[in-house]
Amino acid sequence: MTPAVRGDTVARMTTHDLSRSLPTLFRELVYGAGDTGFMLNPHDPGMLASLARLSAEDAGASTQGGATIAAHVEHVRFGLSLMNRWAGGDADPFTGADWGAAWRTARVTPAEWERLKAGLREQADRWLDALAQPRDVEGIELDALIASVAHLAYHLGAIRQIQAATRGPRDGTGA
């Protein structure tokens, strides 16, 4: 979807109608589902609790030469930090962003792993608050807001493919 252009004016829209749904979905991915889930199975613990199950050694291990879980966490943290800068008024935090740096995250010490998880929690909490605030946006900005939820879901799935200990329940029983 591209912004609707009328002459020299880009059509603006509001996120008011999404200011309940987007935070609900994002919160579920980060903090887990209760008795019911939209994105996750019921009783799935979500990303942060899943990551808490891992040691630094597990987080820094590469499977078949792929990215580490620590790299996925840093990538998501970095992306959310940019979204938070945008929500805070920075018109373009994305130009010049070094997206490759996160993917160079490999082995981490226990202290580094704790910092990565804490940084992810901080940025996710800030973004959750930002998602709940209705705002006027252009089409591409609305796309980015919605994509932030899907992007987190993608990385949670990728992490769960790398390390079985991070997986949630299959059928909602908590097992």
Quick: pLDDT tens for 136-167.
989 899 999 999 999 999 999 999 999 999 99
**Mean pLDDT calculated for residue range 41-55:** 96
Collect all residues with Cβ–Cβ distance below 8 Å to 82 and sequence separation of at least 6.
93, 94, 97
> At residue 1, does pLDDT exceed 50?
no
Whether 50 and 168 have beta carbons less than 8 Å apart is answered as: yes
User: How far apart are the two ends of the chain, measured CA to CA in Å?
Assistant: 40
Instruction: Supply the pLDDT for residue 107.
Output: 93
Sign of CA dihedral 71, 73, 76, 80: negative
Instruction: Supply the pLDDT for residue 108.
Output: 97
Whether 102 and 90 have beta carbons less than 8 Å apart is answered as: no
Sign of CA dihedral 158, 161, 162, 164: positive
Q: Is the pTM of this model over 0.75?
A: yes
Whether 17 and 143 have beta carbons less than 8 Å apart is answered as: no
**Mean pLDDT calculated for residue range 25-42:** 94
pLDDT tens digit sequence for 95-122: 999 999 999 999 999 999 999 999 999 9
